[in-house]
Amino acid sequence: MVASHPRALLAVPGPVVSATVIDRAKIRVVVGLSGGVDSSAAAALLVEQGYDVVGITLKLWPQDCISRAEDKCCGPQAVMDARSVSHKLGIPYYLIDEADDFQQQVIHYFAAEYKAGRTPNPCIMCNEKLKFGTLINRARQLGAEYVATGHFARVEPSADGRRHLLKRGRDPRKDQSYFLFSLQQEQLARSLFPLGGLTKHDTREIARENRLKTADKEESMEICFVPDKDYGKFLQAARLVQKHQGEIVDLRGRVLGHHDGIEFYTIGQRKGLGVSSPKPLYVIELDPANNRVIVGDESALEREEFTVERCNWIPFDTPPPTLEVTAKIRYNHPGTPATVTPLPAGGARVKLSVPQRAITPGQACVFNQDDLVVGGGWITR
């Protein structure tokens, strides 16, 4: 029996229909279960609301995860926890192998970006291609209308009911809308985020009330396939990158030392440069064409203008000539006022009101207007 919870509020996206006329027992929802507390609480809320819920875990990593990260989303412990939650809630559960898709869509992208001198964000790509791509396709096969996850974000219909809007989660400390900016209208239309109006404390309370074993499980802030945060080690172990020596130069082109590959560096990095200097040096730029790492003092990291490519606009198909937004240049960035000018071929120019440090090619820049996610794009060199 699922415990009732006063904060358990869920809005179905799409056409606005009175809750009194929705026969939720006939609406099937697939929940992506990672084995963590958030997806567990999301499943519990959906069951409480009366939906026909099915739990699915995507097995993403082809290798034996026990020695790497047994409690991560690729590991056996996570699968056992997700299965336990499904059993406790009385819902069907499936483990689906999508390792090949993950390898092609996420791992190869991850390596290619580093080889190109960019810093990737694999979580955004995993959401777009798998959690709201492959999983939606699997949901259709099971006759499900929606896919739900434990993300702290919200989807709401626009005022005219023609579009689906993405909004920040109400808990500013846990908001994950940044990682969802690239979702298309078709994906948002089929997405449910039951935790969007709740806090992290709320989710743990929901899990405890339902006696789910994930209630006090520690959350992970790492990339799921790089649990020790050493992405360079992962790239070499997976044989995706080999060491290849190049020059470390200053902003004038003077050679200060040598590196083993630009893939092992990122903009703003200070430690591990292997060069001596009377003042601290930082990675200012990566030059893949010449296999060079360019370093300089901290002041050279600040920029106030840059471009993004492959923009996705959520409230509209065609953006206005300019937009005043708050721009987040990375997930843990607080955001800063900016003027965005859309460009031909799906790009945009971003001018910040205050220069920011370490604007990194390959990272996503996401545009907000208050709680609304207007869109975003990928920072170019």
Q: Which of 73, 224, 311, 365 is catalytic?
A: 224
Secondary structure class of 264 (helix, strand, coil): helix
Q: Is 353 helix (H, G, I), strand (E, B) or coil?
A: strand
Q: For the packed helices 76-89 and 37-48, what is the interaxial angle rounded to 10 degrees?
A: 20
Give 185's Cβ-side CA count (13 Å radius).
12
Q: Which amino acid is at 140?
A: R
* Distance separating alpha carbons of residues 69 and 81, to the nearest angstrom: 14
Could you tell me which of 314, 376, 309 has the C-alpha nearest to residue 345? 309
Let me know if 74 is a catalytic residue. no
Which of 73, 74, 123, 126 is the catalytic position? 126
Which residues are within 8 A (CB) of 258 and not within 5 positions of it... i.e. 6 or more apart?
245, 246, 247, 248, 274
Smallest CA-to-CA distance from 180 within 172, 169, 369, 170 is with 169
- For the question of residue 365 being annotated catalytic, the response is no
**What are the backbone dihedrals phi and psi of residue 208, each rounded to the nearest 5 degrees, phi first?**
-65, -45
**3-state class of 178 per DSSP?**
helix
Q: At what angle do helices 200-209 and 37-48 cross, to 10 degrees?
A: 60
Backbone angles phi, psi at 370, to 5 degrees: 55, -125
DSSP per residue over 280-297, as a string? --EEEEEETTTTEEEEE-
- Rounded distance, CA 280 to CA 271, Å? 9
Amino acid at 262: I
Positions marked catalytic: 126, 224
